[in-house]
C-alpha cells in the first residue's frame, strides 16, 4: 500500500533568470480544494520575508506530524489532550561542499491533558510513528515542555 501526494508549484518572471540578483523567488503552491500557499526563498537567499519559505515549511511539516501522531497515541492510550503548542527550532549549517543542509530540528511541545499520564512515553511513541521525522536525514529531537 502506498500514499501519493500531488500539488503544483508555479513560478514565472519576466525577463527571468538573467542573473542571480534579478529574478523573483516568489512562487505559488497549490492543490485542488485548498487555498494557495504563497512561497519564496528565505530572506537570506534573496527571498520575500512575507511569504513561507521551504525551510519553514519543512519545520512546520515535522511539527504537524508530531502533533498528529501525538494526538493519535494519546487517544489510543485514553489520555485526553486539551491543548498542544509547539515552537520548533531548525538549524541549517553550511556543508563542506559550500551547500546548506539542516543539522537538526528540536520540537518543543507543551501539552495540557487530563489525568496523570506519562506524556514522555506518548511523545516517544509519537516520534517513532511520525513518518516525516523518519524520512529526513538529520536528527529530530523532542524536548517536551
CATH number of the domain bearing residue 70: 3.30.300.20
* DSSP conformation class of 21: T
- Residue 109 to residue 87: CA distance in whole angstroms: 7
Same domain as 82, residue 59: yes
Mean pLDDT of 120-125: 96
Same domain as 64, residue 133: yes
Same domain as 127, residue 70: yes
Same domain as 42, residue 71: no
- Residue 137 to residue 27: CA distance in whole angstroms: 26
- Residue 93 pLDDT greater than 90, yes or no: yes
Q: The sheet that has 89-94: what strands, in order across it?
A: 89-94, 100-107, 140-142
Same domain as 73, residue 127: yes
54-64 pLDDT tens trace: 999 999 999 99
Share of the chain above pLDDT 70, in %: 100
- Residue 44 pLDDT greater than 80, yes or no: yes
What confidence category does residue 141 fall into, taking pLDDT thresholds of 50, 70 and 90?
A: very high
Supply the pLDDT for residue 126: 97
- Residue 122 to residue 74: CA distance in whole angstroms: 6
Single residue among 15, 34, 52 that ends a domain in this structure: 52
What confidence category does residue 115 fall into, taking pLDDT thresholds of 50, 70 and 90?
A: confident
Same domain as 92, residue 59: yes
Count up the domains in the chain and report the number: 2
pTM of the model: 0.91
Supply the pLDDT for residue 117: 83
- Residue 94 to residue 101: CA distance in whole angstroms: 7
Same domain as 59, residue 33: no
Same domain as 121, residue 67: yes
Same domain as 21, residue 4: yes
- Residue 47 to residue 70: CA distance in whole angstroms: 33
Which cell goes with 3?
Answer: 500514499
Same domain as 73, residue 48: no
Alpha helices in 44-92 (DSSP H): 54-76
Please give the C-alpha separations between residue 27 and each of 2, 38, 52, in angstroms, as whole numbers.
29, 6, 10
Instruction: Please state which of the ranges 9-18, 27-36, 66-75, 80-89 shows the lowest mean pLDDT.
Output: 9-18
Domain that holds residue 48: 1-52
- Residue 138 pLDDT greater than 90, yes or no: yes
- Residue 122 to residue 129: CA distance in whole angstroms: 10
Amino acid at each position: 500500500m502506498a500514499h501519493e501526494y500531488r500539488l503544483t508549484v508555479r513560478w514565472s518572471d519576466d525577463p527571468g533568470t538573467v542573473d542571480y540578483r534579478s529574478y523573483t523567488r516568489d512562487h505559488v503552491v497549490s492543490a485542488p480544494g485548498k487555498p494557495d500557499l504563497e512561497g519564496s526563498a528565505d530572506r537570506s537567499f534573496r527571498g520575500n520575508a512575507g511569504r513561507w519559505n521551504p525551510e519553514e515549511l519543512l519545520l512546520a511539516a515535522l511539527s504537524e506530524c508530531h502533533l498528529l501522531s501525538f494526538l493519535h497515541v494519546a487517544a489510543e492510550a485514553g489520555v485526553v489532550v486539551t491543548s498542544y503548542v509547539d515552537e520548533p527550532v531548525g538549524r541549517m549549517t553550511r556543508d563542506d561542499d559550500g551547500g546548506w543542509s539542516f543539522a537538526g530540528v528540536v520540537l518543543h511541545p507543551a501539552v495540557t491533558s487530563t489525568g496523570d499520564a506519562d506524556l514522555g512515553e506518548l511523545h516517544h511513541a509519537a516520534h517513532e510513528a511520525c513518518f516525516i521525522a523518519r524520512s529526513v536525514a538529520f536528527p529530530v529531537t523532542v524536548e517536551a515542555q
